[in-house]
Structure 1
Amino acid sequence: MHILLLSLLEPYTGNATTARRIAGYLQSHGHTVTLLDTRKASADSVRTMIEGSNIDAVLGIHALGAGRLLFDLPIPTVIIFGGTDLNEHARNPRDLQTMTEAVEHACALVAFTEDARQRAENLWPECKQKIRVIPQGVLTHPSAFSLRKAIGLRDDDILFLLPAGLRPVKDPLMLVEEIAQWHRENPRVHLVIIGADRDPTYAQKCRHIAMALPGIQILPPIPADDLHAAMKESNAILNSSHSEGLCNTLLEAMHVGTPVLARDIPGNRALVAHRETGMLFATPEEFSACAMQLRNDSVLRTHIITSARKMVETEYAPDREAEAYAKLFSELSW
């Protein structure tokens, strides 16, 4: 089968990581996969590609970003829900209408978590039977890169790492004042934010604020293997998003053995059980309390690291994800 995979393919984004991983699975099961960046596509160009390249099916990641391109196609379509489509864009009536047309036309729908499945069912109850849950697989390959050496930190400095694109939904500024104050009290404490400028105006604001605060750095994105290495030598990986589907970076952090501290939102609760596979916080003050517990309680830290890695290796194994997508396309009918 020749599958057209539609996704945001901007480097260093979660959607791009997911798209390339799933494409690899499908290719390993004998399918031909053509990747197309949704930023560079229109409904007409997709239809033209389908007609000229003998495409048999289309897989789109994100019900709005890809869904807007999937109306009335003459071949089977599958939509994978992201995070912002269900959590943010569904609040906009025009976006919701666009997603509704795509979802109703699709042959199959995929959610990463049970929470996402429930959200989708609430939005489109008539499509309930088409939705299946396929948890993301996680792959990490830490390189020899050292973030500590690159920015001049000592081995005993406390490094919090927040991998996130600079855009409002990721709220990378949530913890900067809290950690800057911690740095004033203990200069060994540092926060490094690594991510692409997804919203140029907002990114400029982030950099302006970070430059004025001690102990806070914002760095451009780095290759995945280097990011995995940076995660491995960090004291904790942070997530402060307003909204998430299933956060790749939290999965990757768990896989390399670094504890995660995540904002208490539905997408993160689907992955992080408080004091079991990570720690959840709702406010900057709660973050500090959680971080101090992790720092001072080695038994708790070891328990979280061990439990999280076991969960990822069993529930988010790449082989399980690969088989699930292979099964989906083998059952696809029109």
Structure 2
Amino acid sequence: MCVLRDAFDFESPSEIANLIVDENLEAALALHLYRGGRLLQGGHGIPFGVIFGGTDLNEDANHEEKKEVMGKVLEEARFAVAFTEAMKDTAQLQWPHATGKIFVQSQGIATIPNADFNWNTFLQQSEIDQSADNLYIFLVICGLRPVKDPLYLVDAFSEWHQETPNVYMVIVGPEVDPVFTREVKDRVRRAAGVRLIREMNQEDLHAVVKSCFALVNSSVSEGMSAAILEGNGFGSSRASQEHPRELSCGRARSHGIAVFKPSAEFIQLAKRLVSDPALEKEIVTNGREYVRMHHSWQVERDTYQRLIRKLETNLEV
């Protein structure tokens, strides 16, 4: 039996200790070395493993206090999982004592779109003009926090929408940072052709991903974007801001990715995708194949089942 808990619901390791006793838990798996792993410190009496998040390596490792905590977590953890070889290499440079504990397992992708989802209702709720011919919806999925930089393309996209009214950008995600969320809402309110939607349940969000024209990632720091990979699996075009983490899972069209850096370059790329069906088809086809070859949820499932068995039997990985 698996007990799933949100790390944000706990403030200290002692609360986790109580959970372990109350639920009679035998092993643990923490997602995010700092966010989840720090709660398992201190000898709770059960073996545990951790899974790196992009924030761990790209952001938290730059803060000495957090880096020290994460190093101690790795000392106690039986194993640590990184999504890419690049993430593994970075982690081993940061915490050499963990070399040998860290291995790579790519994130598996499983998509469950809501078959009853009504696309026209979604467009109506998003205040998108459905009368326009050939609507092109560019979707940004992210928590509203600075590192995801959902505002990066807002002004450039708004200018494009005023020239081409059938293109829209829709930002979907939870309000993670309250101060930044207010800034996002204010900017979007004044930007033509840009819409902001509150977070959605996974099945509905997958239905939106399946129906939109292209999925966009403008994050300034990324481990491995599940949303982008899910978009590849569904057959959405993919455009990503160029940065090392994202490129580690596929740099060019051969992996179903169209890379941009400045916002003006994104608009040029987006216009090409809209006007060149052959290019769009190439990116979609290659993206699907990349996910099929490298992001099997069955392989990921089998890997974690094997790891949990080793935790339960107290064997070395």
TM-score (norm 1): 0.87
Tell me the distance in 2 between the aligned counterparts of 1:273 and 1:153. Answer: 34
Give yes or no for the alignment of 1:137 onto 2:115: no
AA in 1 matched with 2:118? F
* Contact kept in structure 2, 1:272 and 1:280, CA below 8 Å: no
Cα deviations by residue, 1:113-140 (Å, 9 ceiling, x for unpaired): 1111111111112211001111111111
AA in 2 matched with 1:129? G
1:111 deviates by 0.6
Corresponding residue for residue 205 of structure 1: 183
* Contact kept in structure 1, 2:253 and 2:286, CA below 8 Å: no
Tell me the distance in 2 between the aligned counterparts of 1:298 and 1:216. Answer: 24
Match of 2:257 among 269, 274, 278: 278
For residues 1-334 of structure 1, the aligned pairs below 5 Å read 32-41=1-10, 42-73=12-43, 74-143=45-114, 144-146=117-119, 147-151=122-126, 152-154=128-130, 156-276=134-254, 277-332=256-311, 333=315
SS at match of 2:19: helix
AA in 2 matched with 1:114? E
* Contact kept in structure 2, 1:43 and 1:70, CA below 8 Å: yes
SS at match of 2:4: strand
AA in 1 matched with 2:21? E
Tell me the distance in 1 between the aligned counterparts of 2:175 and 2:265. Answer: 28
Cα deviations by residue, 1:22-51 (Å, 9 ceiling, x for unpaired): xxxxxxxxxx21122212222011122223
Tell me the distance in 1 between the aligned counterparts of 2:275 and 2:134. Answer: 14
Tell me the distance in 1 between the aligned counterparts of 2:219 and 2:118. Answer: 26
* Contact kept in structure 1, 2:158 and 2:192, CA below 8 Å: yes
Tell me the distance in 1 between the aligned counterparts of 2:173 and 2:21. Answer: 37
* Contact kept in structure 2, 1:145 and 1:230, CA below 8 Å: no
**Larger mean Cα displacement after TM superposition, 272-281 or 143-152:** 143-152
SS at match of 1:33: coil
Tell me the distance in 2 between the aligned counterparts of 1:262 and 1:224. Answer: 22
* Contact kept in structure 1, 2:33 and 2:56, CA below 8 Å: yes
* Contact kept in structure 1, 2:13 and 2:42, CA below 8 Å: no
Tell me the distance in 2 between the aligned counterparts of 1:104 and 1:283. Answer: 41
1:254 deviates by 0.7
| Percent of paired sites with the same residue | 33
1:252 deviates by 0.9
* Contact kept in structure 2, 1:232 and 1:256, CA below 8 Å: yes
TM-score (norm 2): 0.91
Give the CA RMSD over aligned residues. Answer: 1.5
